[in-house]
Amino acid sequence: MLAILITARNVSFFMTYRNSVQIVGDVLRIADESGVGGVNVTALLRKANLSYGRMASIAGNLTKAGLINEQEQDGQRIYIITSRGREYLKRYQQFAEVAGSFGLSL
């Protein structure tokens, strides 16, 4: 993970960049937390902090892999996590926890 120190008016903080695996984990977590109704594109963009192009690419890959389903409801695109997506998310979170216990980050 790449971290950049940003200093502005005597305030310093680190801005970290996520890798693709972390972004996929975030997208699946958001879809899972949204429940059976799923999450619309706008909410997913905001909560995952992604550009539309990046999100569309990731959502396409996750749909092809069977981890999320894309549906249209009331003229909006909705993403719903599948049981396979929940299983992937569960294993990702377990792996992240094990890595963290060794002082590693994904």
pTM of the model: 0.83
Phi and psi dihedrals of 47, rounded to 5?
A: -70, -35
Q: Is residue 3 part of a domain?
A: no
Q: Is residue 61 part of a domain?
A: yes
Q: Is residue 8 part of a domain?
A: no
Q: Assess contact for 96 and 106: CB atoms under 8 A.
A: yes
Domain count, the chain: 1
Query: Mind listing the pLDDT tens digit of every residue in the chain (106 residues)?
Result: 455 555 555 555 566 788 999 999 999 999 999 999 999 999 999 999 999 999 999 999 999 999 999 999 999 999 999 999 999 999 999 999 999 999 998 7
Domain limits at 95?
19-101
Q: Is residue 44 part of a domain?
A: yes
CATH classification at residue 49: 1.10.10.10
Helix (H) or strand (E) holding 21: helix 20-33
Q: How far apart are CA 69 and CA 71, in angstroms?
A: 6
Q: Assess contact for 37 and 62: CB atoms under 8 A.
A: no
